[in-house]
Structure 1
Amino acid sequence: MGIPRPLRGALFAALPAILLTTAACGGNGPAASPTAAASNAAEGRCVTSYDANKDYFPAKQTLKHATNFTLTYAKNYQVVTVKQPAPGAKPEKYVLVRCGTPAPELTGELAGAVTVETPIESLYSASTTHLPFITELGVLDRLTGVASAGFITSPQVLERVKSGAVTEYASGREVDTEKVIGAKPGVLMSGGTEDKTYGPLRQAGIKVVANAEWLESSALGRAEWIRLMAALTGTEAKANEVFGKIEADYTALAAKAKAAAPVTVLPGQMFQGEWSMPSGDSYVAGLIKDAGGTYAWADTSGAGSATMDLEAVLSKAKDAKVWLAIVNEWKTLKDVEKSDARYAKFDAFESGDVWSANKVMGPGGGNDYWERGVARPDLILGDLVAILHPELAPGHEFAFYQKMTK
């Protein structure tokens, strides 16, 4: 746990290529309830007769956990402000105008904003973390390109790549600007970093919209970026339904674990000679706490992580009862010890209580924890509660974690 996003950048996919002409409300994800489906259908159609007095957003979204973007409404458009689209970057504002209605003048508070006509019919995604939002909302048919398919774990998305419905636009880690410009996607969604090619793409008329969920300090805050995807695709009612259930399930699990005695946890592992330890205000720390756990650095400040050597970790966390790692290659305790013999000094190793979030791996080596896990913190928390307090989750079916065998 706690691997910083810069180390994961190469794992994320984006979207180019074949521009599909799709039904405005298409979907290959979970079936919506009759109410949500009807509302989404109403929201998804282009306006044919504009009425200045009509509210074109019958289903509205309210942010409760995400802090890195805001969402406000006018009658025929939404304004999204991403406070930090990339580390150190200035805020970006997007005016999402309902198709078939007039765009507002970009003056005053809207000066410099990017106008996007919604619902979009095609999306290029720069991160695999976007993919579960797309499938949960039932708009997989809007996905027309990915930067690299190699690290995708979703069978649904991989099937569309295989069929040619979704194309790679940065398979060599270099964005093919000509391919993107030729495809003219409704939006190219960034992964919360600024690529050198985005400037030329913007100049060519490509709408680059930042998705910086990874800068959120809570798991529910990261998952709530599904609302940005919903605002772009006209699936606000579905997002309210989907995120509402995720939030309720997460809250119920946290309440159940709160009464249990905290279990000491060792989060993370070495990477290139350094241990990235999550700080006490990070989303990882929040997950551990909500699962009824604690760790030696739980009282530190900051939402990021601190790097340290293994000996420093041993000095403070040798006696942690449970070790929670995320290493794709680890399957057994022998694998753990083989990667660094000093790992055997941890009490959790000696007792065999070592877990890694590598249960579901894609054919190219992608890890579903970094993909679906962003949208489903309730499933991550469910795994953690079952690991730390198995008496609270008898018969639990693990979504991401598995215990290292002998």
Structure 2
Amino acid sequence: MKPRILLLIVFLALTACKREQKKSPSETVSISNHVQLKEESGNVHIQSGNFSYDFKQNQLPFKKIILLNASMAGYISELEAENLVIGVASPEYIYSDKIQSLLKEGEIQNVGNEQKYDVEKILSLKPDAIFTNHIASFDNTYKLLKDNGIQVVFLDEYMEQKPLEKTAYIKLFGKLFGKDKQAVAKYEEIEKNYNQLKHLALQAKERPTVLANEMYGDIWYLPGGKTSVANFISDANANYILKNNAEEKAVTMSFEEVFAKADQVQYWINAGNHISKKEMLGMNPVYSKLNVFNQGKIYVITGKEKAKANDFFESGVVRSDLVLKDYIKIFHPELLPDYQLTYMKELQ
């Protein structure tokens, strides 16, 4: 009998351990190199760059939030969580029709802009959390908000250089809004689309050479070779003129330096928000010396633009698959014969 009793005790102990594990699950989700998320017993820990956040189970999901950056509205729209937004800064830069409609109805309040936030209005709205990029010059404002019990969450998604890692922030928002399954499903859908498009691009017979961005004054600010733009170009199976560069930020060059590299360029992308080549030339006559200006194709990011709002910087932040699809359509139109550009537009 004794061996049976011992077996029963061991079995009960193991069962108790399993039950305890179920009560206290621990899961770490790596959103990107900049952001990690860990959930334990319903509590959520977030590490975002140099900032850490711990949210208790009774604090989530958030019901009232404020956005201080238009780029974050893209994640909100993809999760159909616009009803959670009670305030936004610089609403003129937000493209979302739903958010604009809620602004007109007074359901969402204008809380200022990056020159000056309306702290009194923010405090009166009593949000569960404010989402923003960290701007050092506003540290005093952030401290004032925190001292009044308002949670300020810094998410610097603009620093992400791998397109799908930028998309993955939707999983973080899903966790905080109680929309986990919807967020994961949306991410997996975009990831699948992206990888299928990347594979499609490899079927192209040619790999064209590409130039990006434009000049400001006498300086050309080109995306570094490890930036998101460079990654998109590579994934679209094209040859970026700075592909061997190792920078994750803009690289400054003179026109002469760009000219020396641009002889074989066939496509010029992200060339600002110009309305025509004539207008572009009026702002910078030296462009006429470039072969791509005279014989190639130039594309601007104004396919979805309304006044000051541009959806490339909103939904385009999340929909990396559609951005990649645009670039593939530009570089290899034969691979997507029926597709119409979403965010890009050819300059005439």
Aligned to 2:211: 266
Aligned to 1:154: 96
Aligned to 1:177: 119
The match for 1:243 among 184, 187, 203 is 187
SS of structure 2 residue aligned to 1:72 = strand
The match for 1:291 among 232, 236, 246 is 236
Contact (CA 8 Å) 2:28, 2:39: kept in 1 or not?
no
Aligned to 2:54: 95
Q: Hey, what's the Cα distance between the residues in 2 that align with 1:282 and 1:230? A: 26
User: How do 1:115-154 residues align onto structure 2 when only pairs under 5 Å count?
Assistant: 117-154=59-96
SS of structure 2 residue aligned to 1:73 = strand
Q: Hey, what's the Cα distance between the residues in 1 that align with 2:334 and 2:95? A: 31
Structure 2: runs of 5+ lacking an equivalent: 1-18
Aligned to 1:18: none
Q: Hey, what's the Cα distance between the residues in 1 that align with 2:218 and 2:185? A: 44
The match for 2:314 among 346, 351, 371 is 371
Contact (CA 8 Å) 1:192, 1:214: kept in 2 or not?
no
Larger radius of gyration: 2
Cα deviation 1:90-132 (Å, max 9, x = unaligned): x111112222xxxxxxxxxxxxxxxxx1100111111111111
Aligned to 1:69: 35
Contact (CA 8 Å) 1:56, 1:98: kept in 2 or not?
no
Change (3 A) 1:71 1:318: same
Contact (CA 8 Å) 1:187, 1:209: kept in 2 or not?
yes
Alpha-carbon distance, 1:200 to partner: 1.2
Amino acid at match of 1:227: K
Aligned to 1:390: 333
The match for 1:163 among 66, 83, 105 is 105
Cα deviation 1:210-255 (Å, max 9, x = unaligned): 1111111211111111122112111110011101101110111111
Alpha-carbon distance, 1:376 to partner: 0.7
Q: Hey, what's the Cα distance between the residues in 2 that align with 1:193 and 1:80? A: 19
Change (3 A) 1:120 1:385: same
Are positions 1:231 and 2:190 aligned together? Answer: no
Question: TM-score by structure 2 length?
Answer: 0.89
Q: Hey, what's the Cα distance between the residues in 1 that align with 2:111 and 2:145? A: 13
SS of structure 2 residue aligned to 1:150 = helix
Aligned-residue Cα RMSD (Å) equals 2.0
Q: Which moved more, 1:170-179 or 1:160-169?
A: 170-179
The match for 1:399 among 339, 342, 345 is 342
Contact (CA 8 Å) 2:226, 2:245: kept in 1 or not?
yes
Q: Hey, what's the Cα distance between the residues in 2 that align with 1:57 and 1:226? A: 22
Aligned to 1:310: 255
The match for 1:217 among 158, 161, 166 is 161
Are positions 1:79 and 2:45 aligned together? Answer: yes
Cα deviation 1:338-393 (Å, max 9, x = unaligned): 12111122222112511111111123x12211111111111110000000001111
Change (3 A) 1:168 1:377: same
Alpha-carbon distance, 1:288 to partner: 0.4
Alpha-carbon distance, 1:171 to partner: 4.0
Amino acid at match of 1:386: K
- Aligned-residue identity in percent: 25
Question: TM-score by structure 1 length?
Answer: 0.77
Higher RCO (CA-CA < 8 Å; seq separation 6+): 1
Contact (CA 8 Å) 2:271, 2:298: kept in 1 or not?
no
Contact (CA 8 Å) 2:86, 2:108: kept in 1 or not?
yes
Aligned to 2:275: 331
Q: Hey, what's the Cα distance between the residues in 2 that align with 1:229 and 1:342? A: 45
Change (3 A) 1:56 1:389: farther
Q: Hey, what's the Cα distance between the residues in 2 that align with 1:250 and 1:140? A: 26
Q: Hey, what's the Cα distance between the residues in 1 that align with 2:44 and 2:53? A: 8
Q: Hey, what's the Cα distance between the residues in 2 that align with 1:398 and 1:272? A: 30
Change (3 A) 1:263 1:55: farther
Aligned to 2:298: 354
Structure 1: runs of 5+ lacking an equivalent: 1-50, 84-90, 100-116
Alpha-carbon distance, 1:61 to partner: 8.0
Alpha-carbon distance, 1:52 to partner: 8.4
